[in-house]
Every structure is written in structure tokens, then in C-alpha cells.
Structure 1
Amino acid sequence: MKELRIGMLGLGTVARGVASMIRRNGQGIAHRTGIPLRLVRIATRNPGKTWGLNLEGVRVDADVDALTRADDVDVVVELMGGLDPAERLLLSALDHGKHVVTANKALIAERGMNLFETAQKNNRELSFEAAVAGAVPIVKAIRESLAANHIESIHGILNGTCNYILTEMRERGLSFDQTLADAQKKGYAEADPSFDVDGIDTAHKLAILSAIAWGTPPDFRSIHVEGIRRITDSDITWAAEMGYRIKLLAIAKRRDHGLELRVQPTLVTVSSMVSQVEGVFNAVFVKGDYAGTTMYHGRGAGEQPTASAVVADLVDLARNQGAGLASRVPPLSVMPQHLSPLPVHDIADLKCEYYVRLAVVDRPGVLAEITSILANHGISIDAIHQKGRAVSQEAVALVIVTHECLEKEMQASLAAMERLESVRGKPMVIRMESGLT
């Protein structure tokens, strides 16, 4: 092979970064691979809009299907996003002998097995480093650098939008809605931010990482997912006063006979490394039985960071093709015949510490009612916090920190508290992870 000929589906922000990087860094890439990368085709909804890119020698049109079948394309780079028609187009590309590189986390997390099986059948490579954490090479790290380890746990911040919002809420004392509007204005959040702030984006990424870590098919639907919409500036303040910060964490642990997979707002100690990850940055911590805990940190989204990850996959592919290799590393780390699903533990069986914030009527006996409920469910209290007195019939904030207890007992306690006449509104509960790196 004299060159690696690339066809690209989409010409959005990341795709423009890929085109620019191949042009700008092409000579250096060729020196590293022995095979130049050449962008030959782009299929986009608006072929007349090229955003000022130098696309000399590149065929640009709207025919996505033709691109997946084109004889002059060796690898299809999918940067359209979404499930459909992306899945159909990539299956077509693989069936027509093309390798595939994608940044589509939702597609890999929800329909990845269909693509992996088709790639194996056709002896083609399917690469997706850019689907998780942008420029942070976490897929390669787990799949290759830590391949000899038994992975014990993964935790981290995988969504820059949520991390930016939580950072700004703490530093500027703003509400969630105010900070979200600011993030949208700066381009850090989409017009519809649901995938980000409701935890779906993070869960897609966790499904991919856990599949690679433990050799299982991606299991997005089994992940317990909570977002950050209910986090208030008062929660941020209470956490800070207790020596904690609130982060949206992806957490995966290998437990007896299965996995623990969850995405949730979490109180982490200010002394932990994960608490120091600020703004739009991502960080992932992986614990292996021999390597111990390793940390991977960087920009998790945006044109250039994500383009860097896409082109890194193209570099690997060019090196493999130059050496006459195909599918050198299985996409999910283990050989396909050894992929095996593992049961995911129900969130009800989780055991951890909890932060509980209640709005309560300020009168004698209320605290006794609440502590009695906790005691009835076997939950012991580590600390209770309350500030000031209520004016007239206004409610006051009561914050309780518990020792470790079962999730199902905590949820039963919260339901009982919500039925009390002295409790106003829905209690807020946030899980705590005091032992994280």
C-alpha cells in the first residue's frame, strides 16, 4: 500500500479538525508510518460549504452511500454522530472491504457488537479511540498498555460540559441554570444539553471502557445513570464546607461474579486527585492488579482534541497496513471468541456513604423523626449540619452525612422522610466516595 486513502462521513467541527490535521501534519505522520494519509472523499449534507478548508484534490458531495462503496477509499471515518444512518453506513463500509474509524460513542456503546462482528467477518479494523475522552488515549491505554493486568476499577470525569458547570457553580456561586446558559453561550454545551447533563454521554463512554477492561459486550442499558440537574449552589457550598467537591463520576468496579457500573454526581474529598480536575478537562483513573492506579488527563472534547484521537487511529491503521497486518489488536482487547457478558449488580445492593439534604420545618422534634427513620433502616449518622433558624413558617436546610449503608435502605429512608409533614419537597441525596484517588 502506497498511501492510506480516507473517505470521511460528515464535515462538522471534528471532521474539519481531522482534515486540517492531515494537511498540516501530513509529512510528520508519513515519517512515522511510512505511508502517507490522503483524504480523498467527503460526504456531507452541504457539499458547497467547505468552511475555508483547503480541500484541493478531495471529492466533496452528499452521497454517503457511494462513499462507503468507493474503490478509491481504504478507510471510512465516521463523524456524523447518532445511531442511524451511521450504523447502516458503517456496516456497508465494512462489507465493502473498508476499515472504519469512528468517534461515535453512542453507536459503539449501544450497537457496537453488530459492528465488531461485521468487522471480524470481513477481516477489517474498527477503531474508536475518539469515542471516549477526546485527546486522552484511554482506549489504547486499557486495551494495550494495561492488557496484562486484571483491571480492578475505573473511575473518572468523562464529560467536560458537566465538569465545567460544576466548577463554575463552585467558583462563581451561580445556579445550575445560570451556569448552563453560560456554558451554552461559550459553546461548551449543546442547545439541547440532555445527553450531557443527564449523564447519558458519560454512560456511553463508561460502557465502552468497561467492555474493554473486562472483555464483555458493551452494556449501556445496565448502567445506573444520574445527571446533575438537581445539584444546587447550596449543595456545592455544603460540600465545600465539609471538605468535598461534587463531580459527575463514571464508576466501574469488578466485584464478585459481576460488575458495578454507575454514573452519578459524587462527593469526593478535596485532597483527591479527581477533585482537582476542573473546567472542561477529563480524567480517568484505572487500577490494575500489577500496575496499580494510573491516571489519564486532558481535554475531552472539541475540534482539535477529538481530531487528534481520530488521526491517531488512522496512524495505527497505516502502520498495520504498512506491516501487512490486519486487526492486530481486538477492538475490545480480548479475542472475539473470549468475549463474555458479566452480570451488572443492581444499584440497590450498593454500599457507600451518603450526603442527604432536606428542607424541614424548624420546630422541636423534627430531627428526632428523621433520625428515627434512619435508625429503623440500620443507617448510622456521621454528621448533622444546620445553619440558623427559620423565619416564620419557612423551611430550613438540614444536611446529614451517613456512614456506609445499603442503597436500598437509603432509598426506603428517603421515601419515609418525604412522607413526613415536617419535610418540604423531595430530599436530595448524593453518594460519597471518600477513598478515591
Structure 2
Amino acid sequence: MQVINIGILGLGTVGSGVVRILRDHQNKISSITGRKLVIKTVVVHDLAKKRNVDLTGINVTDKIDDLINDKDIQIVVEVMGTVTTAKEYIERLLNSGKHIITANKDLIATYGSELAELAGKNDCDLFYEASVAGGIPILRTIVNSFAADRIVEVKGIVNGTTNYIMTQMSQNHVDYQKALKSAQELGFAEPDPTNDVEGIDAAYKMIILTQFAFGMNVTLDDIEVEGISRVDLEDIKQAKKLGYNIKLVGIAKLINDRINISVGPVLIPEDQPLAAVQNENNAVLVTGAAVGETMFYGPGAGELPTANSVLSDIIAVTKNIVLGTTGSRFNDFSREGKQALPDEVVYPYYISLRVKDQPGQMLKITEVMTSVKASFHLILQTEIDNDYARIVMTTHEMSEAQLKEIVSAISDLKDIDVIASYKVLPD
């Protein structure tokens, strides 16, 4: 059986998982592809570091040129992380004729189009299934299974760290800091969790999902991003009493043929599928004009789930090599797109306020709502202490522009502070 040699750039959690799965499932993979896949060389940063995976027969080096200059290596898996260095290495590898598989969402979200163009010029494949939602094969599903449909919305829980934290806050009634510490102790959160908890990681994934689902290239500047670090435990408890769970949700939606993308805490009705996604798991809901709403659920990270997505890309590239069809884009769908206007983005909203407990406060809030032609659905008041009360209100549907006016106007009122304002997914 002919051999296809593979190089791996980085041997952390995912890289080790790739080595492990390829060894364990060698016979099955060979029967599917008709080729024997062999890991020839692995490039690491620290040669002295002990590894918890069998590297027998594999050349371990700290020199990228050992991959670039080896004509026998056809496929390279990049799982080293970073953006600038990874981009430089991948460009050199593509220019030397190597097919690239990466799990690097930051890189793909920022430079994916540029790298895809370079791959095409060199008749190389560039696949990155593992860059979104770990073990869930969502990108290839969108490309293949929704090819004949018109996708109108993609939304989901695409960051396992924040979902674990929100689950702990909701189920165990611990505050944000305690939930974050638990996530870090279990390895679900990095020592510096900023990218996860501030919604940046999820936003990068929504950039990639938007490109696949709608064919539109967007940047971080096009996305309304809010993280979970300021989510108050009392709001989680209050939402639960109202029949909702609060989750960090990414939403990309066509509105009047314009795109609106957001990442932030959202109230989800408890009877909806996303509300039941717990801990580090991810779920993506894709709504097509023909098929309606479909859900894809699974682990969003981890050694073997993510490595499995990398292996699916390796198999796809191998098949293309055998058939002589390399060089096509992972996703060919492309179209011009404009951003939806704030007046077009309409949801019900949940707003919580810290209000000094004195006469006339509700009148001020009502006057603000009336001035922007917005209406209450529900108003609740609870005591914070002897001087302040918490007022929670849910609204009927109103535009994002109206919400911003309300938050700005209320923030200007004396003795009233806005604690939170979150979208509410409709029942």
C-alpha cells in the first residue's frame, strides 16, 4: 500500500491526540483512503519536554525547515497555536507544496481568505474543520449537507469554557469568580482566560461560521461582542425564575438580506435545545429555508474530539490526493454582504437595574421607555439592601437601536444604574 507522509507542527493536547488516533485507527483509515498514513516528523518548541504519547519511529525536531524541505511529506497538521508565527510557517509550507490542516481559529478568522488563495495558487488543500466547535463536524456539514439550501441563521454555544462557567453559576449558585476558578482547576480555562470569558474566542468562531453559512467575509469589528465576566449571579437566578437559562451565544442572522452577528449573554427559554447544553459541551443550530432548524451537539474541545476533526480533514485531503483533485477551497460559497442596521435587529430584551429605593423612580424609567416607543412585558422589583432595589424588566420586541437609547438614557438618570441588558430568544 502506498504511503502518505504527514508532518505535525505542535505536540500539545491536540497534536498528541492526532498521533494517538492515527496509530489506534490505522487499519480503518487505510481501508477508507487506500493509503497508509504515516507521521514522519513532528516539530516542537521544546525538545526536552516529556510527552505522554508514543513517538516511536517519528522524527521529533525543533526546526521548521525539516518539514518545509522534506519532499516526502505531503500533509502538515498545524496545531501549535499563535497567529503571526503560524501564518508565516503555513505560508512557507504552502509555497513548498504541502497540504495544510489547522485547528487555529484565530488564524483562520483573521487570515483565512488570504491563506486559501495562496493554497489555491499552489494547488494545495487548506482544511480547518477543528477550528470551530471541536469534535462537531459543523463546517463540512454546512458545505455538503446545506449546499442546496439557503441558510438564514446560525446560532450556538461555541465556547466550552464560558458554557462550563455559566453552568456552574446556574446549577450550583456560585459566583463568576468561583466558577472561573473551578474551570481553571479542571483545565477548561486558561490561566489568562480573557479570550474565552470576554467572548473573543466565540467571535472568531462566528466569523468562520458566517463565511461558511452565508459566504460573507467579516471581521471582529463587524460583531457586537460581550463576554460573561460581568454576568451577575442574581440575574441568572432571576432568569431561571422566569423560565430562562443565560448562556453565551453567538448569533449570525440574515435580516432583510443583510447580516447581523453578535456574541453575548442571551436568555434562552428552558424548553429550547440550547438551554440544555451543559458544562464544556457545544451546540450549533443551523436554520435553513428548506430544512428548518437543525442542531449539532458535542464536545467543543479536548484532545480526542478535536483530534478526530483533524483526522477527518486528513482523510479528506488524502482522498483528494488519490483522486488528483487538490487545490479546491474548503468553502467556495462567496457573496457580497452588508451589515444589518440597528433598526432592523429586533428581539425582546431583559434589562436589570440597581435603583435607589425612593418615590418616582419607576416613573422615570417608564418615561424613558415611552420616549423610545418601547413597552414592558414584565416588571419585577426585589430588595438589594435598605437603600437600593433591583428592578428587572423584560420587554416586548424592540430594535437594537431602541435598546441602546434606553440604556443610555437610564444611565444618565440619578440613582439608577444599568446592571445588564441581554437579548431574549423568543419561545
Give the TM-score taking structure 2 as reference length.
Answer: 0.97
Q: What aligned pairs does 1:382-401 form with structure 2 within 5 A after superposition?
A: 382-388=377-383, 390-391=385-386, 394-401=387-394
Q: Which residue of 2 aligns with 1:200?
A: 200
Residue 167 (structure 2) pairs with residue 172 (structure 1): no
Q: Which residue of 1 aligns with 2:414?
A: 421
Letter aligned with residue 380 of structure 1: S
By how many angstroms is 1:419 displaced?
2.0
Q: Which moved more, 1:23-32 or 1:108-117?
A: 23-32
By how many angstroms is 1:384 displaced?
0.3
Cα-to-partner distance string for 1:43-86 (whole Å, 9 max, x where unaligned): 11112324132212211111123313321210111001121110
Aligned equivalents of 2:87, 2:279: Cα separation in 1: 33
- Consecutive unaligned residues in structure 1, runs of 5 or more: none
Q: Which moved more, 1:49-58 or 1:71-80?
A: 49-58
Give % identity: 35
Aligned equivalents of 1:233, 1:65: Cα separation in 2: 51
- Classify the secondary structure of the residue corresponding to 1:85: helix
Residue 422 (structure 2) pairs with residue 430 (structure 1): yes
Q: Contact (CA 8 Å) 1:147, 1:333: kept in 2 or not?
A: no
Q: Which residue of 1 aligns with 2:55?
A: 55
Q: Which residue of 1 aligns with 2:355?
A: 360
- Consecutive unaligned residues in structure 2, runs of 5 or more: none
Q: What aligned pairs does 1:287-436 form with structure 2 within 5 A after superposition?
A: 287-327=287-327, 330-334=329-333, 339-347=334-342, 349-388=344-383, 390-391=385-386, 394-423=387-416, 425-435=417-427
By how many angstroms is 1:218 displaced?
4.6
Q: What aligned pairs does 1:110-129 form with structure 2 within 5 A after superposition?
A: 110-129=110-129
Q: Which residue of 2 aligns with 1:183?
A: 183
- Classify the secondary structure of the residue corresponding to 2:84: coil
Aligned equivalents of 2:313, 2:350: Cα separation in 1: 42
Aligned equivalents of 1:186, 1:346: Cα separation in 2: 41
Letter aligned with residue 428 of structure 1: A
Q: Which residue of 2 aligns with 1:133?
A: 133
Aligned equivalents of 2:184, 2:419: Cα separation in 1: 29
Q: Contact (CA 8 Å) 2:255, 2:345: kept in 1 or not?
A: no
Aligned equivalents of 1:308, 1:395: Cα separation in 2: 52
- Classify the secondary structure of the residue corresponding to 2:73: coil
Aligned equivalents of 2:192, 2:336: Cα separation in 1: 33
Aligned equivalents of 2:29, 2:385: Cα separation in 1: 66
Q: Which residue of 2 aligns with 1:5?
A: 5
Q: Which residue of 2 aligns with 1:31?
A: 31
Q: What count of residue pairs does the alignment treat as equivalent? A: 427
By how many angstroms is 1:105 displaced?
0.3
Letter aligned with residue 219 of structure 2: D
By how many angstroms is 1:348 displaced?
6.0
Aligned equivalents of 1:68, 1:350: Cα separation in 2: 48
Aligned equivalents of 1:179, 1:226: Cα separation in 2: 18
Q: What aligned pairs does 1:151-300 form with structure 2 within 5 A after superposition?
A: 151-300=151-300
By how many angstroms is 1:241 displaced?
0.5
Q: Which residue of 2 aligns with 1:18?
A: 18
Q: What aligned pairs does 1:70-149 form with structure 2 within 5 A after superposition?
A: 70-149=70-149
CA distance 1:49–1:390, change in 2 (3 Å): closer
By how many angstroms is 1:221 displaced?
3.0
Q: Contact (CA 8 Å) 1:355, 1:400: kept in 2 or not?
A: yes
Q: Contact (CA 8 Å) 1:113, 1:218: kept in 2 or not?
A: no
CA distance 1:319–1:360, change in 2 (3 Å): same
Give the TM-score taking structure 1 as reference length.
Answer: 0.94
Aligned equivalents of 2:419, 2:215: Cα separation in 1: 38
Q: Aligned-residue CA RMSD in angstroms? A: 1.5
By how many angstroms is 1:345 displaced?
2.1
By how many angstroms is 1:253 displaced?
1.1
